[in-house]
Amino acid sequence: MEITQKLLLNAEVTRRVLVAFLRRELERFGFRRAVLNLSGGVDSALSCFLTAEALGGENVLALLLPYRTSTPESAEHARQVIGLTGVSSKTIDITPMVEPYFEQYQQMSDVRRGNVMARMRMIVLYDHSVQWQGLPIGTSNKTELLLGYGTLFGDMASAVNPLGDLYKTQVRQMARAVGVPEAIIQKAPSADLWVGQTDEGELGFTYAEVDKLLYLLVDERYKTEEAIAAGFDRQFVETVVQRMRASQFKRMPPVVAKVSRRDVGHDFLYPRDWGT
């Protein structure tokens, strides 16, 4: 079977699981409302559709948080999602929040500036989570998580993430099935942190290619040599494996130095959903 075939999913079954997950994981902590950052991209669009279905559009607050260089297309696409899902929304320009910091460091790299913006958006998200009395919903997909392609405590921050076990190509399938506009699904993925940035340009490979490789390495537990034998370029495989290894810390809570008989992190192991 073609590897591409193995990434195909039944949208109806997946939707049922994810919607039930969102509903239950919020309700068990006493929440009926949710808040999420809507970028105009396909990931946050899908999160928004699923959350609106789980809780009702009136219980979801979508935040549009543009910076002065953000493309107008992003805002337009975000507005389409808001219209289709019936969620509440708020637009807050983060430019006046981040500019004073950027002025302190004239020589900041794009990556540093991008991280600051992503973390500023996290601050606004979590602040509105209190004001809106809703939990922050995640928008990071499995591809990003495995590659560490995201800002720690920035766009990777959330309370509940419905997309974390869907590869980018699966996010696209789901997005199409739930009714995300085709223009959002088809456009080049971009964090839109600086002009001309695209995910695939920055990563150096396409999601379609890397998803197939990640599926073999992670889901099917292929060894590097087996992935190469399956037809992937050696350098590509080694780059991806190295990316996963180097970003492992991003997928874990901060490591705790153990000194007692029982510590948070090693052997104080209660379930997250304790008593719910």
Partner 1 sequence: MLKLRVGLAQISPILGSVPENLQLHLERIEEAKEQQVQLLCFPELSLTGYVLKDLVPHVAMAATESAPAIAELLTASESMDLLFGFVEEDKRHRYYISAAYLSQGRIVHVHRKVYLPTYGMFEEERYLATGDRFRAFDTRFGRLGVLVCEDFWHISAPYALWLDGADILLLISASPGRGLSPEAVLGSSRSVELINQTYATFLTDFVLHCNRVGVEDGLNFWGGSTIFGPDGRLVAQAPYFEESLLVAALDLGAMRRVRMQLPLLRDERPDLLYTELRRMLRESRVPSREQ
Provide the binding-site residues for partner 1, judged by CB under 8 A: 6, 8-10, 12-14, 16-17, 20-21, 24-25, 170, 268-276
Contact predicate 49/148, CB 8 Å: no
The Cα–Cα gap between 86 and 81 comes to: 8
Task: Give least dist CB 274 to partner 1, A.
Answer: 6
Our CB check for partner 1 shows the closer of 85 and 161 to be 161
Our CB check for partner 1 shows the closer of 128 and 250 to be 250
Our CB check for partner 1 shows the closer of 40 and 162 to be 162
Backbone angles phi, psi at 107, to 5 degrees: -95, 20
Our CB check for partner 1 shows the closer of 9 and 208 to be 9
Task: Give least dist CB 249 to partner 1, A.
Answer: 20
Neighbouring C-alpha atoms within 13 Å toward the C-beta of 168: 24
Task: Give least dist CB 163 to partner 1, A.
Answer: 12
The Cα–Cα gap between 91 and 97 comes to: 14
Our CB check for partner 1 shows the closer of 100 and 271 to be 271
Our CB check for partner 1 shows the closer of 99 and 267 to be 267
Residue 233 makes CB contacts below 8 A (sequence gap 6+) with none
Our CB check for partner 1 shows the closer of 14 and 115 to be 14
Task: Give least dist CB 5 to partner 1, A.
Answer: 8
Task: Give least dist CB 100 to partner 1, A.
Answer: 39
Token duo for residue 214: 């990640």
CA-nearest of 43, 63, 12, 24 to 175 is 43
Task: Give least dist CB 24 to partner 1, A.
Answer: 4
Our CB check for partner 1 shows the closer of 54 and 125 to be 54
